[in-house]
């Protein structure tokens, strides 16, 4: 499942790469076109994906939640989410879902910070790394865990855990951490994930502005840990 907003220039390439896995996996690809003003939905349909269109942009987290809801209505036992900007490699999906297929996990996070011989790490700027580190530290304190990348959008879910995520509140990127916190009783593991520079808008999330956004997200995440939240 892929949430997408104004990704006409790249969504076709992402789907081409994804559908090349059809010889290995049974695929049912869903794109949530979250109020795009371009031809994102048209291109996605032309490539063979199912498309759900929002009339207006609802936010990354809200689009993910809608996609998970739609996926839960199918017979799929494993649901994978990935971003539409080409930063994640679809060829890593078999490795991502393996712990679930082996009954070793209920949710698998593709970590940009775990490195093995197959992984290439596209290094974010220092301000972003510091902000990601702050959020990871908060999550570790809440979960008593050692997750390296709780903000990764490249994930695999066992179908049975999806109902636990459908009443989440966050509509922005903080949804990723909120959804992780909702699954504290589930088995969560990480696997290395290859990432690459964004195919489009490569500079849109860099620098001080992005660090400020992450600090705002950290504040939201801290509020999630408070009693009654």
Buried (b) or exposed (e) across 75-108, using 16+ Cβ within 10 A? ebebbbbbbbbbbbbbebbebbbebbeeeebbbb
Q: What is the pTM of this model?
A: 0.83
> Quick check: helix, strand or coil at residue 99?
helix
What would the mean pLDDT of 99-125 be, rounded to a whole number? 78
Q: Dump pLDDT digits (tens) for 176-204.
A: 888 888 887 899 999 998 887 765 554 43
What's the pLDDT at 185? 83
Q: Are β-strands 30-34 and 50-54 bridged in parallel, bridged antiparallel, or unpaired? A: parallel
121 contacts: CB under 8 Å, gap ≥ 6: 112, 113, 115, 195
What's the pLDDT at 212? 46
Q: How far apart are CA 147 and CA 164, in angstroms?
A: 20
Q: How far is CA 48 from CA 6, 36, 92, 199, in A?
A: 18, 18, 21, 21
As a CATH number, domain 2-224 is 3.90.550.10
Q: Which helix (H) or strand (E) element contains residue 98?
A: helix 93-101
Q: How far apart are CA 114 and CA 145, in angstroms?
A: 15
């Amino acid at each position: 499942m892929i949430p997408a907003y104004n990704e006409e220039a790249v969504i076709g390439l992402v789907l081409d790469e994804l559908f090349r896995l059809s010889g290995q996996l049974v695929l049912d690809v869903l794109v949530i076109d979250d109020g795009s003003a371009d031809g994102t939905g048209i291109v996605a349909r032309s490539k063979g994906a199912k498309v759900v269109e929002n009339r207006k942009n609802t936010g990354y987290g809200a689009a993910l939640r809608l996609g998970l809801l739609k996926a839960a209505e199918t017979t799929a036992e494993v649901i994978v989410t990935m971003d539409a900007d080409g930063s994640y490699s679809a060829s890593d999906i078999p490795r991502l879902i393996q712990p679930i297929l082996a009954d070793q996990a209920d949710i698998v996070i593709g970590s940009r910070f775990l490195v093995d011989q197959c992984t290439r790490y596209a290094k974010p700027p220092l301000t972003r790394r510091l902000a990601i580190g702050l959020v990871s530290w908060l999550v570790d304190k809440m979960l008593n865990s050692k997750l390296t990348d709780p903000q990764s959008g490249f994930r695999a879910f066992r179908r049975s855990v999806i109902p636990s995520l459908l009443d989440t509140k966050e509509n922005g990127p903080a949804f990723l951490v909120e959804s992780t916190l909702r699954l504290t009783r589930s088995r969560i593991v990480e696997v290395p994930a290859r990432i690459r520079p964004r195919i489009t808008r490569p500079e849109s999330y860099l620098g001080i502005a992005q660090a400020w956004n992450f600090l705002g997200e950290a504040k939201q995440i801290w509020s999630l840990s408070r009693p009654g939240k």
